[in-house]
Amino acid sequence: MENEPLIDTALKTELSALYKAEDRHYHNLAHIEAMLALATDYRASLGDPEAVEAAIWFHDAIYDSKAKDNEARSAALAEKELVGRMDAGRLGRISAMILATATHELPRFDDAAATRDGSLFLDMDLSILGAAPDAFDAYERAVRSEYGWVEEPMWRAGRGAVLTGFLARPHIFHTQEFRQRFEPQARLNLARSLAALQKPS
C-alpha cells in the first residue's frame, strides 16, 4: 500500500470523467492540470506533496453552479474514495483543504507543515487571478458561462461582491511566494473586472 500513489490511474480516469462534463468551462481538467503543474513547481516547499495532489484532484470533483455544497460534497467523495489508503489524520487534512476552497480562508491545522501545504494549495487554486490579462479575461468568461442561467443584473451583483471581497483582503494569497509572483497582477485584474461589472449595461 505504502508505495502506491494516492491518486492511481483508475482514480485519475474516474475523476477526469467528472472534470470533462460539458457544463464545465473553467472548473475542468485544464484547471486541475494547471494546479498540478504549480504543485510540481513548488514540490520542494510541500510537506506532503501527495496529499496536496489528492486535494487538487478532488477539490472541484463535484461542481454544480446552482448548488451551495460543492466543496462539502467533493470532500465527502475524497473521504469515500481515499479511505483505507492512508491514516485518518492525513485524510482529514486533505478534506480540510478541499472544504477551505469554499472561502479560501486557511483552516486551522495542527502543525506548521500542514498549514504551509494548505496555504500553498489555496494559493494554487487562486493563481488564475494573477494571470496575464488575456488569460484572466478568458477565465472570467468561462466562469460566466458556467453561470449562464443567472440573469445579467444578478450576475453583476454577485460576481461584483466576490471580486470586492478579494480586493478587500489585506492579501489575496497566503504565501510570500505567491504574493510576490501573482498579487500585483491579481489586484489589477480584479479591479479591472469589477469596473467592467459596475458599468451601466
pLDDT reported for residue 97: 98
DSSP states along 51-70: HHHHHHHHTTSS--TT-S-H
**Cell numbers 474516474: residue:** 14
Q: Helices 49-58 and 70-82, interaxial angle, to 10°?
A: 130
pLDDT digits (tens, 9 = 90+) for 141-186: 999 999 999 999 999 999 999 999 999 999 999 999 999 999 999 9
pLDDT reported for residue 142: 97
pTM for the model: 0.95
**117 is a domain residue:** yes
The total number of structural domains in the chain stands at 1
**Res. 201 pLDDT band, cuts 50 70 90:** low
Asked if 130 and 185 touch (Cβ cutoff 8 Å), the reply is yes
Domain enclosing residue 134, as ranges:
9-198
The residue type at 137: D
**4 is a domain residue:** no
**155 is a domain residue:** yes
Residue 163's CATH number? 1.10.1300.10
**Res. 3 pLDDT band, cuts 50 70 90:** low
**99 is a domain residue:** yes
pLDDT reported for residue 199: 87
Of all residues in the chain, what percent carry a pLDDT higher than 90?
94
Asked if 73 and 62 touch (Cβ cutoff 8 Å), the reply is yes
Mean pLDDT of the chain: 95
Residue 83 three-state SS: coil
**25 is a domain residue:** yes
**3 is a domain residue:** no
pLDDT reported for residue 1: 41
Nearest to 106 by CA among 166, 174, 160: 174
**Res. 94 pLDDT band, cuts 50 70 90:** very high
